[in-house]
Amino acid sequence: MPAFHDYIQRDALSALLRLSQAFSVIALTGPRQSGKTTLARSAFPNKPYRTLEDPETRQLALSDPRAFLAQFPDGAVLDEIQRAPELFSYLQGVVDAQQRMGLFIITGSQQFGLLEAITQSLAGRVGLIELLPLRLGEIAQRQTLDTTQLNTLMFAGGYPALYNATRSQALQPSDWFRAYVSTYVERDVRHVLGVRDLASFERFVLMCASRSGQLLNLQALAADCGISASNARQWLSVLETSYVIRLLRPWHENFGKRLVKMPKLYFLDTGLLCWLLRIESPTALATHAMRGPMFETWVLTETLKHRLNQGLPADVYFWRDNHGIEVDLLFQHRGLLHAVEIKSGTTFSQDWLKGCQRFAQYAGPRYGASTVVYGGEHSFETQATHVMSWLGFKQHNA
């Protein structure tokens, strides 16, 4: 059993323990290397651990699933369970017979059909948590953060390996992301899609990276990559289920006005985005043309992490009218619509309130509150709007 004292405590721990009191099986999913295994094992240190990546373990699970599960009368942590999909129907029998909460903790990857298998065999028996890489408050456990470090944080991203105390000083983000893309992203895509022309797929990912924070024109993206629109749509779907990107959908209510219907494309880790864009250092990022979209991407991912870590759905949208007036993020809370504007500048401007004010007119009594997240160091209130420094994400979320 490894020692977990050196690892960063994850915000999702509370939701994981809460769900383990209400469901027989807890499923942890998310991108590769986001810390799912570490969280599961540290939360349930007394449960036996098996990974289905291990050939011998997988062979036993496939050849005699009943005998495999019989080893764990008090449950277990089963890692990468989608490698043995036949286990799911047998798990159903075990948990139905025992009627105990928090019996099995399973981890896996959505792109390999984890959710489909859960829906078919374990519906109603599984509590689900999606674990993204570290958010700002978790990174702050490892290092002291100040107002000068925003570019450094965006350049590194949030994958836990880059903040492991035993090797983070020697590990360069560029080295880690090079290995990550070749070991996981490209391998997974080959497995799921059977992509033979890897060069075309690599070009596609790079073209997506250059569009992070922008409206997605699928036809234009496909044409720029020299592929069909159907291929582009399929590849985007796999990148999204692999937690590489997220397509942010526009708010779905019209309010009587013609609105933009296209989604916006975002990467789910700014470190990976920097590597794909060949940004070589935090200094280079500071003056890069993508600095503004990078900050917008970072704020979106912090917002998603905050919600998912609490076990909440990631129901976040954007809003844009036909005049180009936009609200970067929109979410519901207690029946009201809350608007968030994102600005990378360090000096507040009253013009930043325009999008939220316009949306408030459309939403009427359903409008909740306005927040501006910006790249400065001070948080304050102005014109019924909370102006929040990016450092505010250490404590809470907009």
List for the chain the helix, strand, coil content (%; round to 5). 45, 20, 35
**Judgement on whether residues 306 and 373 belong to the same structural domain of the protein:** yes
**Judgement on whether residues 108 and 249 belong to the same structural domain of the protein:** no
183 assigned to some structural domain: yes
Q: Residue 116: what pLDDT?
A: 76
**Judgement on whether residues 186 and 320 belong to the same structural domain of the protein:** yes
**β-bridge mates for residue 336, sequence order:** 333
Total domain count, the chain:
2
**Judgement on whether residues 161 and 49 belong to the same structural domain of the protein:** no
**Judgement on whether residues 126 and 225 belong to the same structural domain of the protein:** no
| Residues of the domain holding 290 | 136-394
Are the CB atoms for 387 and 355 separated by under 8 Å?
A: no
Please say which residue of 71, 104, 130 terminates a domain. 130
**Judgement on whether residues 312 and 264 belong to the same structural domain of the protein:** yes
Instruction: CATH number of the domain at 66, please.
Output: 3.40.50.300
From first to last of the 398 residues of the chain, give the pLDDT tens digit.
444 445 789 999 999 999 999 999 999 999 989 999 999 999 999 999 999 999 999 999 999 999 999 999 999 999 999 888 889 889 999 999 999 999 999 998 765 567 777 777 788 889 999 999 999 999 988 877 776 799 999 999 999 999 886 655 667 899 999 999 888 777 777 777 776 777 888 899 999 999 999 999 999 999 999 999 999 998 998 899 889 999 999 987 766 666 778 999 999 999 999 999 999 999 999 999 999 999 999 999 999 999 999 988 889 999 988 788 899 999 998 889 999 999 999 999 999 999 999 999 988 999 999 999 999 999 999 998 999 999 998 875 43
Q: Which amino acid is at 276?
A: L
**Judgement on whether residues 216 and 142 belong to the same structural domain of the protein:** yes
7 assigned to some structural domain: no
**Judgement on whether residues 97 and 200 belong to the same structural domain of the protein:** no
Token digits for 335?
A: 């029946």
88 assigned to some structural domain: yes
Please say which residue of 130, 154, 179 terminates a domain. 130
**Judgement on whether residues 283 and 356 belong to the same structural domain of the protein:** yes
CA distance 173 to 191: 26
- The 8-class DSSP code of residue 113 comes to T
**Judgement on whether residues 35 and 97 belong to the same structural domain of the protein:** yes
304 assigned to some structural domain: yes
Nearest to 327 by CA among 292, 362, 294, 302: 362
Token digits for 77?
A: 């942590």
Question: Quick check: pTM over 0.85?
Answer: yes
- Cα 105 to chain centroid distance, Å, stands at 20
**Judgement on whether residues 220 and 296 belong to the same structural domain of the protein:** yes
4 assigned to some structural domain: no
Please say which residue of 76, 109, 130 terminates a domain. 130
6 assigned to some structural domain: no
CA distance 132 to 268: 8
Q: Residue 98: what pLDDT?
A: 92
**Judgement on whether residues 55 and 144 belong to the same structural domain of the protein:** no
Q: Residue 197: what pLDDT?
A: 74
246 CB contacts (<8 Å, ≥6 apart)?
240, 265, 266, 267, 268, 300, 304
5 assigned to some structural domain: no
Q: Residue 112: what pLDDT?
A: 59
Q: Residue 166: what pLDDT?
A: 65
CA distance 293 to 263: 15
Q: Residue 398: what pLDDT?
A: 39
8 assigned to some structural domain: no
